[in-house]
Chains A and B, each alone.
Chain A
Amino acid sequence: MKEVNVIEAVRQAMYEEMDRDQDVFILGEDIGVRGGVFLATDGFLEAFGAHRVIDTPISESAIAGVALGAAMQGMRPIVEIEFADFIWPVFNQILGEAARIRYGTNGKLHAPLVLRAPYGGGIRGGLYHSQSPEAYFAHTPGLKVVAPSTPFDAKGLLKSAIRDNDPVVFLEHKKTYRLVKGNIPKEEYTIPIGKADVKIEGGDVTVVTYGLMLHHCVEAARILKDNNIDVEVIDLRTLRPIDHETLIKSVTKTGKALIVHEDTLALGIGAEISAILSENVFEYLDAPIKRLAGPEVPAMPFSPTLENEFMINSEDIINALKELAEY
């Protein structure tokens, strides 16, 4: 075992997969000589050459479209979108095209591509370097959407995403990149897409979350443990397909559910989780399902007081969990 941060885990996953499979290549802005703005591809150009580590023009639609075209011809491209805030131009190529390649050719073609994007806020990124785009992608059948929160999961899931035969949108919370550290084994491993992880077991109340918020939820659960409130923490890890089984099993046991995400509330991932739970475990619920999510403003503001107003913290989660436990 070795302790690494999230960005190092991401780097290792890509490096090992590029080493293992000649069809894997990476393209994006500043990923070559610069090694990526977050250094996810540091050293790749020297290791794999300019034909597999391709610095592109600032041209997101072409980056996605070119990756899709190469994927349909048997390659396994990894796209790095520099910041998720710059991802909107890929909608046409990813939601409109990549997601329906398999369906629209009746299985004749498929698109094994990974679209990586650093997302999320709390890093003074302002309106254009803080956004969470997951709900838009997670709404689209044909795509898979992964959002890990730890180095171990980031590495194992990214390897699975690169080996997957369908398009995967892989969202990396940029605040976790250097903040979150964890042990990863020396040996090769993968983590299956579509499986949530019970991070902490507990019997009183379930909290469902993903990304940076997982760490706030874990902190909240540890603090509440001292107050004799036993919280079960579920990290979704994959946002499409959602792991119904793990959610249903947990809330059947606890009878209470809080959903936490940084992305804005209305029509977000939490709405879907809430619907899955009310459809499946209604008879077991001892309290209304509760959501704690980003506020209804268009994006995260820059000034620290305003940014703090947007971000959910451990205290917000503790209060919400206490309310639920006492219901």
Chain B
Amino acid sequence: MAMVFRHCIIQLMPKQKIGKVGREKPNSSDRLLEIYSTMARSRLLDERVWQLNRQGRAALVASSQGHEALQVASVYALQKGKDLFYTYYRDLAVMVALGVTPREIMLGYMAKSGEPMSGARQFPTQGAMPNLGLVNLSNVVATQLPQAVGAALACVQKGSDAVVAVYFGDGASSTGDCHEAMNFASVHKLPVIFICENNGYAISVPLEKQMAVKNVSVRGDSYNMPGFTIDGTNVVEVFKTVSDAANRARIGEGPTLIEGMVERNLPHTGDDDDRRYRSEDEIVKAKEKNPVRILRELLKKDNILTNEVDLEINKAAKISIDDATEYGESASYPDPDEFYDHVYSQV
């Protein structure tokens, strides 16, 4: 089976693409600035949404604060408009990196008409934007993993060399679907990159109560799949690891498991109180592991980012987020007449 797929890919792919390593270097200044700018915009948007939630103006929020480097750098390591992104509910920064606008995102948090992912039928950030290759369907953790494997199978069957990045938390790694998806993907050498955003908690249950191994990545061995544990706050490491995984996937060498170690800077959702299960000291330390700040300091030290440019980035982001907030609040709720639309094909 695997041999057949590999044979197909090699036949169908243009020769010059085989073995090509990395589209762009992760540490080019322009690329790093772009990644930083995207992370900063995502962080400000996330902070705004959290604030609106506290004020009772946004019903639900699962923050991606702390996960931005892993999410944004992984998107930049892949090919927007071609590769597919199967995300979960903590992946706001993936959406921002893919180009979903603050207005579009805000419509989701306010459950307003015109929301592009699900028409505000789903929780914020969930649904799909096929034009961006973005699929985020379920609140049931790990259901996206077998689906992403199926999407990868479709890519191979259609003769495309697209790869599928699938994001999930450490909590999802305990499910049967996670095992079944990884096993299936590896047996058939499918172009999937499993990106585990390991923040150490499944809501309140810490890692040591979720698994008897120290890291999720060691499970790669049991599927004969490369597994890497990386610093998920280090954009260069993320970019390089994901680029390498994509290169392997594109030439038919199969899936990769990447575990990015991150900290959840905030409670599970706006409805959670992490003081019930984390010490004050631990909460402070988790907040300090802020990948946006880490990258900002690094870029300033290396003279890639000036204070002036940083101010500009943040100012522009704030303007667009203010605009999005206003836009969202003035938008109407969906028309109840649409309630029965799209249960079945209308044809």
Write the residues of chain A forming the contact surface with B, with a CB cutoff of 8 angstroms: 25, 49-52, 54-57, 59, 61-62, 64-75, 77, 89, 92-93, 96-97, 101-110, 141-142, 144, 164-166
Contacts and interface: CB of A to CB of B under 8 A. Distances in A.
Contacts of B138: 96-97
A101 B344 CA distance: 10
A104 B137 contact: yes
A50 B188 CA distance: 11
Contacts of A70: 150-151, 153-154, 157
Chain A CB within 10 A, most for which of B86, B148, B156, B344: B344
A92 B143 contact: yes
Contacts of A51: 1, 4-5, 8, 156-157
B118 interface: yes
B79 to A, nearest CB: 16
B333 interface: no
A272 to B, nearest CB: 18
Task: Kindly list the 4 A-B residue pairs having the minimum CB-CB distance in the complex, ordered from nearest.
Answer: A69-B150, A65-B146, A106-B119, A62-B180
A61 B119 CA distance: 28
Interface stretch (B50-58, B68-76, B120-128, B233-241): B120-128
B150 A57 contact: no
Given A104-B127, A164-B345, 6 more contacts: A62-B149, A69-B153, A73-B154, A75-B157, A92-B140, A96-B140
16 contacts: A50-B4, A61-B146, A65-B143, A68-B150, A69-B147, A69-B149, A70-B154, A75-B158, A102-B342, A104-B127, A105-B128, A106-B117, A108-B128, A110-B345, A141-B343, A144-B344
B147 A109 contact: no
B343 A103 contact: yes
Contacts of A142: 343-344
B151 A93 contact: no
B187 interface: yes
Given A97-B143, A101-B137, A109 B128 contact: yes
A62 B177 contact: yes
Interface of B: 1, 4-5, 8, 84, 86, 117-119, 121-122, 126-130, 135, 137-138, 140, 143, 145-158, 176-177, 180-181, 183-184, 187-188, 341-345, 347
Contacts of A62: 146, 149, 177, 180-181, 183-184
> Max chain B CB contacts within 10 Å: which of A59, A66, A71?
A66
A92 B140 CA distance: 9
B118 A105 contact: yes
A27 to B, nearest CB: 9
Contacts of B180: 57, 59, 61-62, 65
A65 B177 contact: yes
A66 B146 contact: yes
A179 B149 CA distance: 39
Given A69-B149, A69-B151, A92-B177, A55 B118 contact: no
Contacts of B129: 108
Nearest to B8: A51
Given A92-B177, A106-B121, A75 B5 contact: no
Given A51-B5, A61-B180, A92-B143, A69 B154 contact: yes
Contacts of B341: 106-107
A284 B68 CA distance: 66
Nearest to A96: B140
Contacts of A96: 138, 140, 143
A34 B129 CA distance: 40
A66 B177 contact: no
A65 B342 contact: no
A206 B240 CA distance: 70
A77 B137 CA distance: 19
A142 to B, nearest CB: 6
Nearest to B160: A73
A61 B177 contact: yes
B127 A74 contact: no
Contacts of A77: 150
B130 A66 contact: no
B150 A54 contact: no
B4 A69 contact: no
A74 B140 CA distance: 23
Contacts of A109: 128, 130, 135
Nearest to B183: A57
A102 B340 CA distance: 11
Contacts of B342: 102-103, 105-107
Contacts of A97: 137-138, 140, 143, 147
Contact of B183 (A59, A92, A103, A164): A59
A166 B343 CA distance: 9
Contacts of B130: 108-109
Contacts of B4: 49-51
Nearest to B180: A62
Interface core residue of B4, B5, B140, B342 (most chain A CB under 10 Å): B342
Contacts of A68: 146-147, 150
A65 B153 CA distance: 12
Contact of A75 (B1, B154, B343): B154
B343 A104 contact: no
B151 A102 contact: no
